[in-house]
Amino acid sequence: MEDKVSNLISIGEKVVRRKDEIGVDDIEVYLYEADTFNSRVITNYVTVRSGIDAGAGIRVAIGKKVAFVSVSSLDINRIIETAKLAAKIAKTKEEDPNFTHLPDPMRGYAGHGIFDEGLASLGSEELSGYVSRFVKDTKQISNLRKMDLFLTRANYTYAVVNSRGISIGDYGSVIFVWYEVDLEENGKRGKGMDIYVARKLNEDELFSIMPRAVEMAEEGLKAKKPKEPFRGDAIIDPWIMSSIYWPLAYNVSALNVQEGRSRFIGMIDKQVANPNLTVLDDGTLPEGLATNKSDDEGIPMQKKILIDRGVLKTYLYDTYTAYRENKQSTGNARRRDYKSQPSPSTTNLVFKSTTGKKLEDLIREIDRGVLLRGEAMGSHLINPLKGSMAITCLNALYIEGGEIKHPLHAISMSADYFEFLKNIDTVGSDYKITSAGKIPTIIARNVYFS
Amino acid sequence: MWDLLEYAVEKALKLGAGFVEARGEKQVTNIIRFSNEVLKSIESTSLIGIGITVVVGKSRGHGFTGVLTEESVEEAVRKAIDSARGLSEVAGLSAEPIEYKPKEYSGFIPSRNKDPEHIELEEKIELLRRGVDEIKGSEGLASITAIYAELYGERFFLNSEGLRRHWRPMRNGVYFQAVVRKNGEIGFGRELFASSYGLEIYEKKTPEEIAKKAYTSAVESAEAKTIKPGKYPLVADPTFIGVLAHESFGHLTEGDYVATKASILHGRIGEKLGSEYATIIESGDPVNYGFYIPYDDEGVATEKVVLLDKGILKAYLHSRNTAKLMNMQPTGNARAISFMYPAIVRMRNTYFGPGDMTKEELFELVKRGVYTEGSTGGQTEDTGNFTFGANRAYWIENGEIAYPLKGVVVRAHILDFLKNIIGASKEVIVMSSPLGGCGKGGQGPLPVGDGGPYMAIKEALIGGGV
DSSP letter string, B36-54: TTEEEEEEEEEEEEEEEEE
Per the CB < 8 Å rule, is B38 touching A127?
Answer: no
C-alpha to C-alpha distance for B86 and B83, rounded to whole angstroms: 5
Per-residue confidence at A92, pLDDT binned at 50, 70, 90? confident
Terminal Cα distance for chain B, rounded: 55
The dihedrals phi and psi of B28, each to the nearest 5 degrees, come to -115, 135
Q: For chain A, which residues make up each domain, given as ranges?
A: 2-221, 230-449
pLDDT tens-digit readout, A29-85: 999 999 999 999 988 888 899 999 999 999 999 999 999 999 999 999 999 999 999
CB-based contact A381 B65, cutoff 8 Å: no
Is some CB atom of chain B closer than 8 A to the CB atom of A268?
no
Please name every residue paired with A9 in a beta bridge, in sequence order, or none if there are none. Answer: none
Q: Is the pLDDT of residue B465 over 80?
A: no
pLDDT digits (tens, 9 = 90+) for B397-454: 999 999 999 889 898 999 999 999 999 999 999 999 998 888 888 888 999 999 999 9
Does the distance separating the beta carbons of B86 and A48 come in below 8 Å? yes
**Residue A251, helix vs strand vs coil:** helix
User: Which residues on chain A are in Cβ contact (under 8 Å) with B92?
Assistant: 43-45
Q: Give A226's pLDDT tier (boundaries 50, 70, 90).
A: confident
- The rounded mean pLDDT for chain B is 94
Per-residue pLDDT reduced to its tens digit, A358-400:
999 999 999 999 999 998 888 888 989 989 898 989 899 999 9
Are A368 and A232 a contacting pair, CB within 8 Å?
yes
Dmax of chain A from CA atoms? 73
Q: How far is A90 from chain B (nearest CA, A)?
A: 8
Q: Do B44 and A383 touch (CB under 8 A)?
A: no
Largest CA distance in chain B: 72
The phi, psi pair for B305, rounded to 5°, reads -115, 125
Q: How confident is the model at residue B194 (pLDDT cuts 50, 70, 90)?
A: very high
The end-to-end CA distance of chain A, in Å, is 51
- For the segment A291-308, the average pLDDT, to the nearest whole number, is 97
Mean pLDDT of B104-128: 95
User: How far, in Å, are A324, A424, A440 from residue A313 at the CA level?
Assistant: 19, 18, 21
Q: Is B71 on the interface with A (CB under 8 A)?
A: no
Instruction: With CA atoms as reference, report the closest residue to B6 among B162, B155, B153.
Output: B162
> Does the beta-carbon distance from A47 to B261 stay under 8 Å?
no
Between residues A280 and B465, which one has the greater pLDDT? A280
Q: What percent of chain A has pLDDT over 70?
A: 100
Find chain A residues with C-beta within 8 A of B342's C-beta.
47-49
The whole-model pTM stands at: 0.87
Task: Give dist(CA A311, CA A303) in Å, integer.
Answer: 17
Q: Which residues of chain B make contact with A253, given a CB cutoff of 8 A?
A: none
Residues 86-125 of B with CB under 8 A from A: 86-87, 89-93, 95, 120-122, 125
Q: What is the CATH number of domain A2-221?
A: 3.30.2290.10
Quick one: average pLDDT of A187-209?
95
Q: Is the per-residue pLDDT at B357 higher than 90?
A: yes
Packing angle between helix A2-17 and helix A76-92, nearest 10 degrees?
50
User: Which percentage of chain B shows pLDDT scores above 70?
Assistant: 99
pLDDT exceeds cutoff 90 at A431: yes
| A316 vs A375: which has the higher pLDDT | A316
C-beta atoms of B95 and A46 within 8 A? yes
Per-residue confidence band for B464, with pLDDT thresholds at 50, 70 and 90: low
Cross-chain CB nearest to A49 (options B35, B43, B64): B64
Instruction: Give the per-residue pLDDT at B466.
Output: 40
Task: Spell out which residues of chain A touch residue B145, defining contact as CB-CB under 8 Å.
Answer: 261
Task: Report A:16-55 residues touching B (Cβ under 8 A).
Answer: 37-55
Whether the CB-CB separation of A374 and A240 falls below 8 Å is answered with yes
Q: Is B377 on the interface with A (CB under 8 A)?
A: yes
Q: Which domains does chain B have, with CATH numbers?
A: 116-154+165-223 (3.30.2290.10), 230-464 (no CATH)
Q: Considering only CB atoms, which chain A residues are within 8 Å of B326?
A: none
Query: Each residue of B55-102: pLDDT tens digit?
Result: 998 888 999 999 899 999 999 999 999 888 888 777 777 889 999 999
Query: Bridge partners of A391?
Result: A413
| A385 vs B29, B92, B179: nearest CB | B179
Residue in B38, B49, B186 closest to A96 by CB? B38
What integer best gives the mean pLDDT of chain A? 95
